[in-house]
Amino acid sequence: MSVEIIDIKCDFLVVGGGLAGLYSAVRASSFGQCVVVTKQTLVQSNSYWAQGGIAAAVDPEDSPVFHKEDTIAAGRGLCDGRAVEILVEEGRERVADLINLGMKFDSDDSGLLLGLEGGHSKRRVLHAGGDSTGKEMIEFLISFVRSSKSVTILELVTVTDIISDGDKCYGVWGYDEGRGSYVRISSSSTILATGGASALYRRTTNPEGASGEGISLAWRAGADISDMEFVQFHPTVFSGLRENSFLLSEAIRGEGAYLLNARGERFMEHYSPLLELAQRDVVSKAIHSEMRSCGEDYVYLDLSHMDPGFVKKRFSNIHRLCMDSGFDLARDRIPVAPAAHYTIGGVRTGLMGETNIEGLYACGEVSNTGVHGANRLASNSLLECMVFAKRCVDGAALGLYQGGVREFSGFMLADTRKANAEFFNHARDAVIKGMSAHLGIVREREGIEEFVARISEISSEAKGVSGWFAFKLRTMLDVCLLVAQAALLRRESRGAHMRSDYPQEDVDYEKHLVFRKGFEVYGSD
């Protein structure tokens, strides 16, 4: 079969158009030619919808030491201390860099307005546009990269394979939706910034595209993958009678909102002395327990005791979404429940964002840098994107080498969607149902093993599927199996991983589970 291939060469290749990808491009533009590839448009990334903000110890009464302590406490013994030090120390510098570039964070006459969120001991969360921080930051960076002569943006291009011999990465293969052609991008360095995989759950805060493709691509190329059992659920996602659901920012509880069960009782005092400002894993588990106790699918977020004018101004976008769904954020009890929100595990990296494959780097949610441990501290994710995006570029710039060209081996994506659509939709629904039922907030051995068997069945049934649907299904099954295998192996409850059959933390599991393709378990440390 004759296939049109468009060849592109660059110094830096960035896969992903969220905050980590765009900030990588901003930094890379100073060193050479950069190509940014994104399977959607730049405004469809997960970062774009981030409400809460970006945490950094910029207040004179705060300190990176306090920020580090809060991060490590949230991480339940699994944070990499050196990585956390880098995050909190360099995070202040990256925020200052953004401000110097012209980024406007919310402020008043006294200076930056800093929010408080769960697990933080100080007000240190910067926000922009009230509850539209991600949107403001992404639009700011988009304007910067679009104006740069050193950055080329390729939208609607799906990366299908990493070009690698297992030791080195030489670039990627992609399929250009608009041109209907394949793209081979050869690069001295490839930075994965593709986001997480929380769209593999029925209730999720993520856009549909967050299906873990970057993790699967790296896994198949031979990269180490770690901590996949830790999937963080956001405690408060709208749970009304209509189909639409949306996140209600952690900052709402930071400003004083209460959580009430279906009986109208505040309940967090039974779970943590920090009440509504406990870490996310604690709040999510508490809500899960209260929902089961009351026999309901939701609890309530209550702001009726707060100043209505402040609520409507501070959370203008969330207030509008609530009004569209028939609720007044400032006056009504808002039904909420946890939803899959953030993939803590991912492509294992060192302190410069490097993987075990030379020339391949990772940053943002696709990566596992070690800063989050077993449970991410609220609003550390945008900070991690910026800190380690810069480090990826710095590391790549120090180790430039000439990438070679490999034979075509990419997935054939064109003209196959209609033929396999029915099977794919059936398989996707089964995967999402299994992830939601057996790998949610609470897991147990029997359910996980049942899901692993179902994954095997789907894999066997899919042997005749080709093209685009084969690629999408491969991604989902790879990621789900990694999560399930890690969840089975971690026979304890820690952070975002809770086993009902092993309800306590176990000191023997104060380690990371690391997987590499071709090995049952590559290692743990």
Q: Which residues are catalytic?
A: 280
Q: Where are the alpha helices (DSSP H) in 296-404?
A: 308-314, 316-324, 381-398
Both structure tokens of 374: 């077993």
Pairing of strands 125-126, 114-115: antiparallel
Residue 460 backbone phi and psi in degrees, to 5: -65, -40
**Cα–Cα distance, 249 to 253 (Å, whole number):** 8
Helix, strand, coil percentages in the chain from 3-state DSSP, rounded to 5: 40, 20, 40
Q: CA quadruple 86, 219, 502, 451: dihedral positive or negative?
A: positive
Which residues are CB-contacts of 456 (< 8 A; sequence separation ≥ 6)? none
Per-residue 3-state assignment (H helix, E strand, C coil) for 427-484: HHHHHHHHHHHHCCCEECHHHHHHHHHHHHHHHHHHHHCCHHHHHHHHHHHHHHHHHH
Which residues are CB-contacts of 98 (< 8 A; sequence separation ≥ 6)? 137, 140, 386
Residue 242 CB neighbours (<10 A):
9
Asked if 18 and 138 count as a contact pair (C-beta separation under 8 A), the reply is yes
Short-list 126, 105, 108, 103, CA closest to 116: 126
Would you call 242 helix, strand, or coil by DSSP? coil
**Cα–Cα distance, 202 to 247 (Å, whole number):** 14
